[in-house]
Amino acid sequence: MIRPATVDDVPEIRTMIRELATYEKAAEQVRSSEEQLRAALFGESPAAFALIAEDDDSGETVGYAVWFPRFSTWTGRRGMHLEDLYVRPGARGAGHGRALLAHLAALCRSRGYDRFEWWVLDWNEPAIGFYRSIGAQVMDEWKVCRLSGDSLARLAARAPGGV
């Protein structure tokens, strides 16, 4: 079963975020707190939205997805960016990931979004294969660029007149 996350799901979402980060060999990079997630997902002006995947038989939480709207200047329309998709190892292969993605695709269609995009690590062949199997185009020609930490601070300091 796929359902919208509630504020009561925040501790479990945070646990799964850490599980995902461990799988992606980046556990030390997770800094979000439950309070930050509560504000981001359920505050007055949510920054993102979450879905929960539950096992139909046990009702146990087996996965989650976090997404937010984006905008394309080329199409002039909104789209969806999937920030996280995670299914716990013991629940993989049972259709939970596909169900989460199908639910998100249906949300895109119902809201008039014309793109549904996400990133995948280049070494994650099982995920890449899965995404291709559902018809996703893996766009190898695009590279992600990121500024953070000292680099972000240095460039921000060069803003004429500040912000």
- For the stretch 107-127, pLDDT in tens is 999 999 999 999 999 999 999
Q: Given the residues 64, 86, 113, 131, select the one marked as catalytic.
A: 131
pLDDT of residue 161: 83
- Residue whose token pair is 């300091």: 157
Q: What is the mean pLDDT of residues 35-42?
A: 98
Looking at residue 12, what is its pLDDT?
Answer: 98
Query: What does the pLDDT average to over 28-55?
Result: 97
pLDDT value at residue 28: 96
Q: What is the mean pLDDT of residues 29-47?
A: 97
Q: What is the mean pLDDT of the chain?
A: 95
Residue 24 has pLDDT above 90, yes or no: yes
Q: Alpha carbon of 67 to those of 41, 98, 150: distances in Å? A: 10, 15, 27
Helices in 43-95 by DSSP H: which ranges?
none
113: annotated active-site residue: no
Mean pLDDT, residues 69-74 taken together? 96
Share of the chain above pLDDT 90, in %: 93
Q: Report pLDDT for 73.
A: 96
> What band does 142 get if pLDDT is binned at 50, 70 and 90?
confident
**Smallest Cα–Cα separation from 80: which of 103, 56, 57, 52?**
103
* 8 Å CB contact between 20 and 66: no
